[in-house]
Structure 1
Amino acid sequence: MLTLAVAGAGAWAWGAFKVKRSPQPAPVAANPVAVPDLASARQILTGYFEATEDEGRIRCLHDSRRVGALWLDYHHRRNKPVPLLVRLDQGRLARLGDKTVAMFQTELDPGGSRPIALIWDDGRFGIDWESSVVYGSMDWIEWVETKPASTQLLRVYLSRSRVDGLSVAEREAGWSEVVAEHPDGLQPLPVRIPPGVLFPVDFHGRQRVPAAAELRFSRSNAELVKFLHEGWSR
């Protein structure tokens, strides 16, 4: 499997990727196969923003068969138009787990400065759309304001709770608490972790961790249902 009050749109999203620079390329073989390069990634990215039809844009996405339905939900049902691409930097290649990614800093209108990653898979680059828009099954602001009891998948930043909102009895029973933030704003939100829910995050040396998680509200308190993975990429 390949992240939402934050200082600077360009700064927050780079934290959604755990990357390291790619090694030097090996010598070209006698019969070379397709290899990832920035030119092909740039072509996919610009093609996405220049496309005029939904199908053309969805074809530019990584894991498009799965993500296509999410894309339609986000841009049509939630009425979030695709922004204009104003500027695109030179980009760089990096590693995301066992995948090669091309990372670009973009200037969008609306949206401002926004990093976007493309994942190399099955001989082609595809836009890591879910992380680029910090996709969740509900918009963060709507989720916080409506406090649904139903479980929602959300991409957030998680950090240690600096204020103990739990009672002594709750802590003795095995409850814990973290804080969730989202680039869409609002105040950091305390999230309670029930006993028995696995939370394998080590905050040592890290102020906050981008993560995908299933969350819900219980008696007006945000609660972790399931921790899915670190980072906003699947």
Structure 2
Amino acid sequence: MSEPEGQDLFAMLGDDVKLINTDSKKPLEVEESILAGSLFDDSEHPNQQKQWSPKVLCLLSLLILLIGGAGMSSLVYGLWVVKPDEEPQKIIPIEARSMSKEEIELVRSKEAILELRKVVAGYLQASSVEAKLAFVRHPERVQPFMEDWYQSRAHSMKVAELESMTTMVPKTIFGKSFWKIELPSDGLFKKQLWVESLEDGSFKVDWETDVFYNPWNWDRFLAEKPTVPVSLRVYASWNDLYVYQHRDDEKYQSFRLENKDSDQLVTAYMERDKKGCRDMLALMQSNAKNPADLRDEMGLPFLLTLHFDESPEGKKNLVIDKLESPSWLIFD
């Protein structure tokens, strides 16, 4: 019996190739481990495509023609185009340049100013109490005041676009950070806002100082002379008038009070031994051109608790019970 033609063909490849089936009627199969190991030269660079010798290429071409098997064709094609696994290229990350403290502060400052502008714009554009509450300090405490101001007293809620902030001055008051902001105004006085900068980076507008909120109208307060304590925002300055039950200038300190929305002035008295009285005098002296003479100094903003005290003669003098705040701002 003559040898199959396929056996002579594979004999030319050498002893490494083993015949799995010598029946010429069936496709010849080559042991997978042999193809994987003998047809590539491991001495070459792993990233370089392996080159087969002309002898091997010729034999493989003849094998495809003789056998014509689709499986064999696919196998040889795969051996021709497949490259061994390439070593992945190492990506060396570029080290980011560290920002200086000054650069970090500059970026944070720019971000803060943008957020501040966003809050002020939202506050000015709000057209309802509910919408405005999202931008104000102490929303739970001031909500009933806002409802009283806009609904019961029928003050109009002016809606405006933020065109610019003409002045921005950072202030620290009793350890809290604020921005004093002035906005353009068509009137005699520029609109002024106090905006608190919170520890979480957010900002809140002080609504009470914006509208100059007081629970009593000043003229009504002076006319009705309530004997129950009332907290009011006023301007206070030094005074030297002592009358009726408050004639003793060694026991009492006299102050002149006025209101932003009224021309009426009134004298009020406070006991000198109270801390609030000493604090008010100290602030007046620190802001005075001549600390030794406070007679002609402008009034400073204070939040005071006041009531009228009636003398045996039926005369009512205004009494300062307590210094609530050395400004119109309320602190927690």
Structure 1: gaps spanning 5 or more residues:
1-24
Counterpart AA for 2:302:
A
CA contact (8 A) 1:212 1:228 kept: yes
Q: Distance in 1 between matches of 2:188 and 2:143?
A: 21
- The correspondence for 1:214, drawn from 293, 305, 314, is 305
Match for residue 69 of structure 1?
Answer: 144
Q: Which moved more, 1:190-199 or 1:106-115?
A: 106-115
Q: Using the aligned pairs only, state the percent identity.
A: 17
Unmatched 5+ stretches in structure 2: 1-100, 289-296, 311-315
- Counterpart pick for 1:95 among 161, 166, 171: 171
CA distance in 1, matches of 2:118, 2:189: 21
Q: Counterpart in 2 of 1:186?
A: 263
> Hey, what does 2:227 align to over in structure 1?
149
Indicate the structure whose relative CO is greater, using CA pairs within 8 Å and at least 6 residues apart: 1
Superimposed CA distance per residue, residues 19-50 of structure 1 (whole angstroms, 9 cap, x where no aligned partner)? xxxxxx85418xx9898723222221221222
How large is the Cα RMSD of the aligned pairs? 3.0
Task: Give the greater-gyration-radius structure (CA).
Answer: 2
Query: Which TM-score applies when normalising by structure 2?
Result: 0.55
SS at match of 1:79: coil
Partner of 2:104: 28
Q: Aligned-pair distance for 1:120?
A: 1.0
Measured after TM superposition, the shift of residue 157 of structure 1 is: 1.1
Task: Give the counterpart letter for 1:160 in structure 2.
Answer: W
Aligned pair partner of 1:126 in 199, 204, 208: 204
The 3-state SS of whatever aligns with 1:76 is helix
TM-score, normalised to structure 1, is 0.75
Structure with the higher fraction of residues in strand conformation = 1
> Is contact 2:112-2:201 (8 Å) kept?
no
Give the 3-state SS of the residue equivalent to 2:195 in structure 1.
strand
| In 1, Cα distance between equivalents of 2:249 and 2:142 | 42
Q: Can you list the C-alpha shifts for 1:86-115, whole angstroms capped at 9, x where unaligned?
A: 754344140232333233223468896321
Contact 1:105 1:115 in 2 (8 A): yes
Q: 1:227 & 1:46 partners in 2: Cα distance?
A: 33
Matches within 5 A, 1:52-67: 52-67=127-142
User: Tell me, what secondary structure is at the counterpart of 1:72?
Assistant: helix
Structure 2 Cα separation of the partners of residues 138 and 158 of structure 1: 17
Closer/same/farther in 2, CA of residues 52 and 133 from structure 1, 3 Å limit: closer
Shift of 1:195: 6.2
Aligned length: 207
Q: How does 1:222-233 map to 2 (within 5 A)?
A: 222-233=318-329
